[in-house]
Structure 1
Amino acid sequence: MDDLDAQGTFRGLPLTTEQDAEVRHYIKKKKQRNEPWDTPELSAMIKDMLDPPGDDDDTADIDDEEETRSVAERASAFIDEDMDPIEHNEEWHAAMEAEVMKGPRR
């Protein structure tokens, strides 16, 4: 039995069409090999589908933006304002690369 219900997804879980197809494919392959399909591997796959790793880290984007902004500000401090625009741009990029190589400041 595939544990399908009226909703049409595996065990009535809130899966996307692609995820549901992947689960069904996994079960079909296991059945073709006469292997048990309700395995810890299937449970782990479904858990990852419902709660993907890394989704609970919403602050990472904000931290990355703040870090990028502070790197740019530190790089700008090394640039002479009286340079011609091309030289200024090249020096700014070089300073940005140097700041990035130093790593995050935490």
Structure 2
Amino acid sequence: MADATPQSTFRGLPLTPEQDAEVRHYIKRQKQHGTPWDTPELAAMLEDMLKPPGNEDEGLGATVDETRAAAERATASIDETMEPIEADEERNAAMETEGMRGPRR
């Protein structure tokens, strides 16, 4: 497959080869069904391809850090001489307790 360049992609847009193929497939499918292909759906698809939605995980850094700290506190409460199953149950109970306490400030 040839590399997609702005000169060879749909309307000269900076699309990846996969995106360009998806756009061309959409247009071909619309034409086969005898429906218009230059639709709001195509415009939305192109907008998503050119400007993907923001990262939903951006605000999760603090949550991840707090969860990691809670897991470390729960693990610290386990005695090394415990049986593995008992230690796992104790760790789960400690995690539940940490979860009920809520985030530390």
TM-score w.r.t. the length of structure 2 is 0.67
Give the secondary-structure state (helix, strand or coil) at the position aligned to 1:14. coil
**Is residue 78–residue 91 contact of structure 2 (8 Å, CA) maintained in 1?**
no
The residue that corresponds to 2:25 in the other structure is: 25
The residue that corresponds to 1:65 in the other structure is: 64
**Is residue 74–residue 99 contact of structure 1 (8 Å, CA) maintained in 2?**
no
The residue that corresponds to 1:105 in the other structure is: 103
Give the secondary-structure state (helix, strand or coil) at the position aligned to 2:14. coil
Q: Over aligned residues, Cα RMSD in angstroms?
A: 3.2
Which consecutive unaligned segments of at least 5 residues does structure 2 have?
A: none
1: CA distance between counterparts of 2:24 and 2:67?
43
TM-score w.r.t. the length of structure 1 is 0.66
Which consecutive unaligned segments of at least 5 residues does structure 1 have?
A: none
Percent of aligned pairs with the same amino acid: 54
The one-letter amino acid of 1:90's match is E
Go from structure 1 to structure 2 and tell me whether the alpha carbon gap of 1:21 and 1:99 turns closer, same or farther (over 3 Å shift): farther
Go from structure 1 to structure 2 and tell me whether the alpha carbon gap of 1:33 and 1:80 turns closer, same or farther (over 3 Å shift): closer
The one-letter amino acid of 2:35's match is E
Shift of 1:53: 2.4
Map residues 72-87 of structure 1 onto 2, 5 A cutoff: 72-76=71-75, 79-81=77-79, 83-84=81-82, 86=84, 87=86
